[in-house]
Structure 1
Amino acid sequence: MDAESREFAVSLSQPLATARGEMTEREGVLVRVSDGEHVGYGEATPLPGWTESLADCRAAVADAVERLQADEAALRDDLAANPAARHGVSLALADFRAKQHDRPLYKILGRRATKDVVPVNATVGDSAPQDTARAAESAVAEGFACVKLKVGVRDVETDVERVRAVREAVGDGVTIRADANGAWSAEQADTAFDAFAEEGVEFVEQPLPADDLTGHEALRQRGGPVGVALDESLAAHSVESVLAAGAADVLVLKPMALGGVDRARKAALAAQEQHVATVVTTTIDAVVARTGAVHLAASLPGVLPSGLATAEWLSTDVGPDPCPVEGGTIAVPDGPGLGVRGVWDE
């Protein structure tokens, strides 16, 4: 098997504020493996705070490419400390194997892989109540049946007004979620959950700081219809620790951060065995990794509408998108492997 890699950078459509400063592009490494007949592609796009650094990712991928003639399982284990690199290498190998079997990737990930369409949510950013309601209304008009509102930037009372305005605008048939990005105290979360329950909010993503599993477990124990979803906590704790703590009703799974679609699928199935639901999303990745996440979501039984409508965050990409959002869903590519094309000069 031949293997090679190349670096890339794609531009964001608007700057993204992070804990490490403003981000205007995503940099990573593409991986290509081939036997002369079948070609597999992978993407390693690290995100500080979630994965290894860009420099460590590049070094790990370069080393892996040199060693791909060795035992593949051992190689993937060796990349455990570099989740983005492992994601890129393992996705290239999975795409390659799926093409060898002439089947879409999602159909070889597991026996229950049967979905050909994946529902996705729209994300509505922070703005005044009526502006938030108009944005949600627009998303619903485009076909989205689930909207996620960014909360936690304003005071809780204003966020409650925003959620109420959205519910009034979209009606009872649309699922509403909220994402606080760990901004609240326990008292603020209690207040928000009580008010959100009246508006039929499905769950709040990361209501408390990432390391506070005890607080999230206590929030769940209050009861009520609003679930606790954990996202950033999966960067601070293992999936096993989160499940053992009983801290989540929903896990938000990012394949890049977890080290690959195979690891993310294993985490999802472990969660579902404990009656914890799952959502698949990305770390604002380029098209190869985004498409891998779509296949992952398609392979899972009972996955909730997922955060895969993220191509709009990029103004450039490494290739055409085979998974555009249409009517609030993504059609999963049904050709062999991932279904990505035009990501390598050949």
Structure 2
Amino acid sequence: MATPHHAPPAHTLPTLADLLGSASVVSLPLHTRFRGVDAREAVILRGPEGATEFSPFVEYDDVEALAWLAGAIDFGWTTPPPPLRDRIAVNATLPAVGPSEVAAVLDRYPGCRTIKVKVAERGQTLDDDIARVREARAYLGTSGRIRLDANGGWNVDEAEHAIHALAEFDLEYVEQPCASVDDLWEIRQRVKYMGIPVAADESVRKVEDPLEVARRGAADVLVIKAQPLGGIHSALDIVERAGLPVVVSSALDTSIGIAMGAHLAASIPNLEYDCGLATAALLAADVTAEPLVPVDGSIAVTRPVLDESLVQKSLATAERDAWWRDRLSRVYGLLTEFSDTKGRHCA
């Protein structure tokens, strides 16, 4: 069974009753459809260190959600490392919208000079991608940076063709152009002469061994997310061992989850790239009166205070609340099983 890369020690785990008693299940509408959904569901938890978030995507099974719960507990029940900076430069995120919608989306990211453009969307064509990226480049002008995110949607030949077609827009890197590590290695060899780096996201957070992509030389950059990697402490361990530049990103979190990512980014000594931590701008509602949206191209390293009235306004239906509580309970059982096994092995 896949396990969080570094779960909190067993004695720091809160009880299931503590988690369920502190939990609020929210459903936050999005400005623009993203990842096939119009609303983002999350479980907000209240720990001794502050609010935290458990929000694995609904299609993930309990085993994959295990690291997400470890990450939520890590942020809510363990003190984060001391920050090395108080603000994090961030990129805008452009969903797979039509060209006419690009400016309205990007206007929600004031001061951001890097845009991550979603490409390889199911049901769309390369011509759709080209039109979207062209519009993003026109919005930025010549000085900003454009990175692409295909979410593993191309095979190697499709990726090579698409990267050639999109290279004219001066790409910073291409994120997860192909799904497998083997294919990432292959496409990296094919486009290396073009000087366009390959970044790995799913090949870090959705695999048994998050360091395989680095050992194989299949990526130039790692995209890391705090919650799916088991929390800040676990993610920092991966960064240190990988030895590659990293981009800290979010998973369409509320501002509480974004804060977890911001604290991770603030703890990394060399942060060369703008981070993907501005996705709260995609939400039409949040759980704090001071959401972590970009100001002058960056977000603050802080822990937002829950606004309980906003939480109440965004509560999910009774059916969805029960679904998430049942899921949390099942995943907690897996987490305690893993922690007990780890403890026996270390005894």
TM-score normalized with structure 2 length: 0.72
Mapped to 2, the partners of 1:322 and 1:184 lie a distance apart of 34
How far does the alpha carbon of each residue in 1:60-85 deviate from its partner, in whole angstroms, 9 at most, with x for none?
xxxxxxxxxxxxxxxxxxxxxx2122
1:290 lines up with 2:258 in the alignment? yes
Q: What is the identity, as a one-letter code, of the residue corresponding to 2:75? A: L
2:239 to 250, 262, 268: 268
**56, 65, 71: which one pairs with 1:46?**
56
Match of 2:345 in 1: none
1:330 aligned counterpart, secondary structure: strand
- Once the two structures are superposed, residues 192-248 of structure 1 have per-residue CA deviations (whole angstroms, 9 ceiling, x without a partner) of 222333321011112112xx1111101111212222112222313421112122221
Aligned partners of 2:292, 2:118: CA distance in 1, in Å?
24
Q: Kindly, what percent of the aligned residue pairs are identical?
A: 30
Measured after TM superposition, the shift of residue 123 of structure 1 is 1.0
Deviating above 6 A after TM superposition, structure 1's stretches of 4 or more consecutive aligned residues are none
The answer on whether the counterparts of 2:92 and 2:106 sit within 8 Å (CA) in structure 1 is: no
Indicate conservation of the 8 Å contact 1:319/1:342, yes or no: yes
Which sections of structure 1, spanning at least 5 residues, go unmatched?
A: 34-38, 58-81, 96-104, 108-112, 334-338
Q: Structure 2: how far apart are the matches of 1:256 and 1:321?
A: 21
**1:88 Cα deviation (Å)?**
1.9
- Say which of 24, 32, 46 aligns to 1:8: 24
Mapped pair 1:218 → 2:233: no
Identify the residue that residue 223 of structure 2 maps to in structure 1: 252
The 5 A counterparts of 1:80-91 are: 82-91=66-75
CA contact (8 A) 1:181 1:232 kept: yes
Residue 252 of structure 1 aligns to a residue whose secondary structure is strand
Question: Could you list the per-position Cα deviations for residues 319-343 of structure 1 after superposition, in whole angstroms to 9, with x for gaps in the alignment?
Answer: 343634201111223xxxxx33246
Query: Contact between 2:44 and 2:51, CA under 8 Å: does it hold in 1?
Result: no
Match of residue 304 from structure 2:
340
Cα distance change of structure 1 residues 315 and 129 upon mapping to structure 2, 3 Å threshold:
closer
- The size of the alignment, in residue pairs, is 286
SS of alignment partner, residue 256 of structure 1: coil
Q: TM-score, normalised by structure 1?
A: 0.73
Is the partner of 1:251 in helix, strand or coil? strand
SS of 2:112's equivalent in the other structure is coil
Moved more, 24-33 or 199-208: 24-33
- Name the CA distance, whole Å, in 2 between partners of 1:123 and 1:46: 19
Of 135, 156, 173 in structure 2, the residue corresponding to residue 203 of structure 1 is: 173
- The two structures, once aligned, show a CA RMSD in angstroms of 2.9
CA deviation after TM superposition for structure 1 residue 309, in Å? 0.9
Unaligned runs of 5+ in 2: 1-11, 310-347
Aligned match of 2:153: 183
Superposed displacement of residue 90, structure 1: 1.4
